[in-house]
Amino acid sequence: MRNVKEYLRKDIMPLIWCPGCGNGQVTKYLIKAVDELGLDKNKVVVVSGIGCSSRLPGYLDFHTMHTIHGRALAFATGIKFANPELTVFVITGDGDASAIGGNHFIHAARRNIDINMIMVNNNIYGMTGGQYSPTTPEKTIARTSPYGLIEKPFDMMELAKGAGATFAARTTTYHFTAGKNYIKKAVQHKGFSLVEFVSQCPTYFGKFTGIPNPNDMMNYFKNNSVPLSKAKDMSEDELKGKIVTGIFIDSNDRKEYCDAYEEVIAAAKGGERI
C-alpha cells in the first residue's frame, strides 16, 4: 500500500470527529479499498451531504463535493451521468440517507446507476445533538425520545432490496477486512451499490444507551454480529439486539443506468425506439 498520507489532505488536519468515532475507521477502509483496487485518484469522486460522516470527503485527496442535507445522491447522479468513467462514492449517515435523503436513495437504487453509497449508520443524529434517526432501534433513549423510542426502524438492506438496488452489504466498523472487501466489491459491481457500516457514536448514542466507552461499543459489535448465513436459521427472538452482516444483494440481471441511456441515444440517432 502507498503511504496513507498520499490520500489525505494534510493541510486541514487534525480531524474534528469526536474521540472514538467510527468515521475515522470508515475513512481508512475506503482508502485501503481504493489503494488495493489501484484506482486513479484523479478519476475518483467522493460526494457527501450534511452530518458527521459527511465531513469525510473533506479529508480525502480525491475530487470531492460537500453538498446539502440529503441531496448527495442527486449531485452524484449528475456527476456519474456527465462522466460515466469516474468512480463515484457517496458518503452518508443514517439520517442523511434514510430521512431527508430517503427519496433520493430509493430512486438511485431504482435507476441502478453505478454509484457506490457508503452509509455510516451510528443510529442517531450525532452532529445536531443526539436526536433519534430512522434507523434508531425501538425503545432507545435519545434526545428526542427521553422515555424510549416507539417507532420501528428502517432495515436499510430490506429498503435497498425493495427499491431495486443490485448490490447491498452490511458490516460494522469492527470488521475491517469485511468492510474493506465490501467496498471493493461495490466498486467492481456494475450498478447501484450500498455498503452499510454499523458504527459507534460514544458521544451521543453510547451516552444515552449506557455504553459511552468506544471500546465497549466495538466489543458489542464483535459479540453481537451474526453472519447472514447463520441468521437465516435463527428466530426473530434470537435475532433481537443482533446485527446481521453479510452481502444481502449481489445481482447483475439489470442494465446500469448510464449504459441503458447510451442505448437510448444510439436508437434516437437511428430513428428507432428502444
Q: What is the pLDDT of residues 192-212, one digit of tens each?
A: 999 999 999 999 999 999 999
Look over the chain and give the mean of its residue pLDDT values, rounded to a whole number. Answer: 95
State if pTM tops 0.75.
yes
Determine the 3-state secondary structure of 87 from DSSP: strand
Q: Which residues contact 66 (CB under 8 A, 6 or more apart)?
A: 48, 54, 55, 57, 58
Q: Does domain 4-269 have CATH number 3.40.390.10?
A: no
| Relative orientation angle of helices 72-82 and 102-111, to the nearest 10 degrees | 30
**What are the domain boundaries of the chain?**
4-269
Q: For residue 273, is pLDDT > 80?
A: no
Q: What are phi and psi of 93, to 5 degrees?
A: -105, 180
CA 210 – CA 247 distance, rounded (Å):
30
- Cβ atoms of residues 202 and 211 within 8 Å: yes
Count of Cβ atoms closer than 10 Å to residue 129 Cβ: 12
Cross-strand partners of 249: 168
User: Given pLDDT bands bounded at 50, 70 and 90, which one contains residue 4?
Assistant: confident
Quick one: DSSP state of residue 205? Answer: I
pLDDT in tens, 218-243: 999 999 999 999 999 999 999 999 99
Q: For residue 3, is pLDDT > 90?
A: no
CA 171 – CA 245 distance, rounded (Å):
5
Q: For residue 117, is pLDDT > 80?
A: yes
Picking from 112, 116, 258, the residue whose alpha carbon sits closest to that of residue 196 is 116
